[in-house]
Amino acid sequence: MEGLLMRPVSRSLSIALALAGLLPAQQHNLSPADLENGARIYNANCFACHGQNGDLVAGVDLRRGFFQHVSTDDDLAKVVLNGIPGTAMPPNRLTPQDLQGVVAYIRSLKNSQAGPIQLGDPQRGQMLAEGKGACLNCHQISGKGSHIAPDLSEEGVLRNPAFLQNVLTDPQTAARAKNRFIHAVTRSGETITGRRLNEDTDTVQIIDGNERLRSLSKADLREFAVEKETRMPSYKDKFTTGELSDVVAYLASLKGGAR
């Protein structure tokens, strides 16, 4: 994890890093954005040595929870911060929130679906995603498609293949709450729906059905609700097993930038 220039940790690791996988991480006030940040830090700085699945260093398999110097999450955090003398693992300085995100992401590798994911042909997967799957009707990939749903151009950096397969087959359990659509009615009677981008106490920013960025003042709304379920359909029965493997391979190949 070389090259990280972060601020020093300023609070107790035993409190800040009482993580035991994804669910406890969320219980310690980690937002989906924090977990994504952990994924970005891992993939930008750890990927070259550990690999996407965390199994390229001898004696270490992050997905299976095998370590040489780690028993607890506190141990894992200390290794990330202090490195391991005499090895290629360097010390790093991270904020408590960044450190929680990295540890939670590493633990999420173990918590993801067990067993290897069979990857198919990414070129066939691209044709399926853009054709039969109609993914570009909602998503944007490498500059093509719609902004109605989240951009998928970096899915291969942010997600492992197990997660990608799960979100395609069971989107209701895998979709992130922050990407839910909102339904609002203004005091003048205008009905507005769109994907939530940001929200605070007073305002909410969305991408509406016409791909327009809109900022709404909650004081000007007479109705405001967040949809409980994702609008993404399941592809479990739409794609064959082979086609699903191809699409997962394509999404896993997306690392940002034009293809």
Among 4-8, 104-108, 179-183, 204-208, the range with the most confident prediction by mean pLDDT is: 204-208
**Lowest-confidence segment of 91-105, 188-202, 228-242 by average pLDDT:** 91-105
- In this structure, how many other beta carbons lie within 10 angstroms of the beta carbon of residue 55? 15
Q: How many Å separate Cα 156 from the centre of its chain?
A: 10
Residue with tokens 């260093």, as numbered in its chain: 57
Tens digits of residue pLDDT in 139-151: 999 999 999 999 9
Do the beta carbons of residue 117 and residue 163 sit within 8 Å?
Answer: no
Residues 6+ positions from 60 with CB-CB distance below 8 Å: 50, 54, 66, 67, 68
| Whole-number Å distance between alpha carbons of 233 and 169 | 8
Burial class (CB in 10 A: 0-12, 13-18, 19+), 53: middle
Rounded Cα distance between 100 and 42, Å, is: 12
- In 3D space, the residue among 105, 100, 103, 79 whose CA is nearest the CA of residue 11 turns out to be 100
Mean per-residue pLDDT, 94-107? 86
d(Cα 241, Cα 239) in Å, to the nearest integer? 6
Which three-class secondary structure state does DSSP give residue 249?
helix
Residue 182 is predicted with a pLDDT of: 92
Q: Across residues 217-223, what is the average pLDDT?
A: 95
Mark residue 167 as left, alpha or beta (left: phi above 0; alpha: psi -120 to 50; beta: remaining): alpha
- Tens of pLDDT, residue by residue over 112-166, are 544 567 899 999 999 999 999 999 999 999 999 999 999 999 888 777 787 788 8
pTM score, whole prediction: 0.58
Nearest to 177 by CA among 38, 35, 32: 32
Between β-strands 140-141 and 191-199, what pairing exists: parallel, antiparallel or unpaired? unpaired
Q: What is the pLDDT of residues 49-78, one digit of tens each?
A: 787 667 778 778 887 777 877 878 888 888
